[in-house]
A and B are shown apart, each in its own frame.
Chain A
């Protein structure tokens, strides 16, 4: 069941469009914001709230990179693997993070803190290689800077390095 809060937030978004179904993208992110991810059950609940079929909502849920269809850790690390970051060393960022966190791509660390995902171009090409953590961008990275970021996040000082 959608919570009252979720229902209200979705209804507020739907009111802005001439056709309610246009709010499906917002609805998915509202549910993800409240629950951390979008389960099959949540897909069905959104479908019923917006008078859509499950398949129509599923089509949207699987069509976007930032909709998580499995539970994720407390922090989501997205490593850009597109051309500028690949040239400047995204492969070594992946290798370092996999080793430090003891996980592969798409997995969550045993302490539940971090999920590691690849990302299509993050638009930070002049600061390549780059990542985002919970949407916060970090650029010009190497192994040492990655370690600093991980420790800062563990200490709860996320986003301090933002310019």
Chain B
């Protein structure tokens, strides 16, 4: 089983050195890209079927193709979204700490494809080890001519800056991220115009996730047909999956795109911890719908998870077991969202704290049956199309699905006037 993104990562987690990255074929993908026209690189990546690994699964080649083909001689930007803060998600950290040159090669290929000569890595400050690994790798890459005025002696110039962001979930939303990078509050922008046309400082900009970019060196080197063979589903490539919660061996693993939930929870994570039974899970971070144990054989690719009523999201599973209160778990999720709401639009700013207060009432035994109706109503009122950006609709995905899957547990909190797990 091929694991191109993680096979070089050392067991102690320290960064792969440039020498080792090169001898494993590193930077050959960039060399190959520079021998193609940017348009040909976009076509090749489109053909590979690579879909964005940040959560939305948008086809990467297509995302790039919206950048105007003709340059007007003014700047364009590539931005790496390394602001991983989706609760339950820790996959990009592994790639950032473990193999920084892979990301640098990937972002250089993307920058070349869209005609950008400046790139920013937008990294959360809490990832201190990632920052150290990247800074050291950037110096090495500049010294060897993988970055700089004439990349590998070609006419392609690439300046790379590392930006450390001081902690805000909204920066994961690409227009919020662009505002923050410009020194403004991380509120979302109107779309259109889309960033590919008018992004950072009004110039064409592409924002790509860390894992997405780390696929590019391998696609360029081995070709799109090879890339498709890595997967066991219609979605190409491998995927970094994760699992956390009360499991025997929580972790992060690179697996063929489309492995089942069972393979991750039972085989990779060793199953539930002693004496615990699986009641449900969120498949890809905090803003995805709960699924029940009847979905253990679900294939974890974008379309299959969507058909099952949730989203693949970031591919990092959080397991709910029978010794953990589902209402408490949803409260933890919604507290995060209420705290991180940027406050730009009213439904999100007011609705999420209302959800938190209602869930707190249930947990503390002060809840009434009508609170459950109010929670359902708020899920409808924060649905897609009713808020300025995708933040609030994502926030109510686990709530709405929990109200269906764990209805009897919500009602038990009201009837018993206390949390049955306390």
A-B contact count (CB 8 A): 144
Contact status A120-B89, CB under 8 Å: no
Contact B88 A25 (CB under 8 A): no
A60-B183, A120-B87, A126-B244 known; A25-B165 Cβ under 8 A = yes
- Among the 9-residue stretches A80-88, A98-106, A145-153, the one with 4 or more Cβ atoms under 8 Å from chain B is A80-88
Pick from A81, A83, A137: contact of B318, CB below 8 A: A83
B251 x A126 contact (CB < 8 A): yes
Whether, in the assembled complex, A125 has its beta carbon less than 8 Å from a beta carbon of chain B, the answer is yes
Decide: A123 and B183 in contact? CB cutoff 8 A: no
- B250 near A125 with CB under 8 A, answer yes
Q: CB-CB < 8 A to A63: which residues of B? A: 168, 185-186, 342
B329 within 8 Å of A by Cβ? yes
Contact between B90 and A123, CB atoms less than 8 A apart: yes
Residues of chain B within 8 A of A52, CB atoms compared: 183
Residue B181 lies at the interface, judged by CB distance under 8 Å to chain A: yes
- Cα(A88)–Cα(B319), bound, Å: 11
User: Do A25 and B183 touch across chains, with their CB atoms under 8 A apart?
Assistant: yes
- Whether a CB of chain A sits under 8 angstroms from the CB of B101 is no
Give, as a whole number of angstroms, the nearest-CB distance from A97 to chain B. 18
Q: Mark A97-130, 1 if CB is under 8 A from B, else 0.
A: 0000000000000000000000111111111100
Whole-angstrom distance between the Cβ of A83 and the nearest chain B Cβ: 5
Tally of B interface residues using CB under 8 Å:
58
Q: Roughly how many angstroms separate A60 CA and B171 CA in the complex, as a whole number? A: 12
Determine if A86 and B329 form an interchain contact, defined as CB atoms under 8 angstroms apart: yes
A160 at interface by CB-CB < 8 Å: no
Expressed in whole angstroms, the minimum distance between the Cβ of A153 and any Cβ of chain B is 16
| Number of A interface residues in the complex (CB < 8 A) | 44
- Whether A65 sits at the interface, judged by CB under 8 Å, is yes
**Known contacts A121-B336, A123-B127; A163 and B12 CB within 8 A of each other:** yes
- Measured CB to CB, the closest approach of chain B to A41, in angstroms, equals 20
A88 to B336, CA, bound (A): 16
Residues of A within 8 A of B (CB): 16-19, 21-26, 28-29, 50, 52, 56, 59-60, 63-67, 81-84, 86-88, 119-128, 132, 135-137, 163
The interface of chain B, by Cβ under 8 A from chain A, is: 12-13, 75, 84-90, 92-93, 124-129, 161, 163-169, 180-186, 201, 242-246, 250-252, 282, 286, 316, 318, 320-321, 324, 328-329, 332-333, 335-336, 339-340, 342
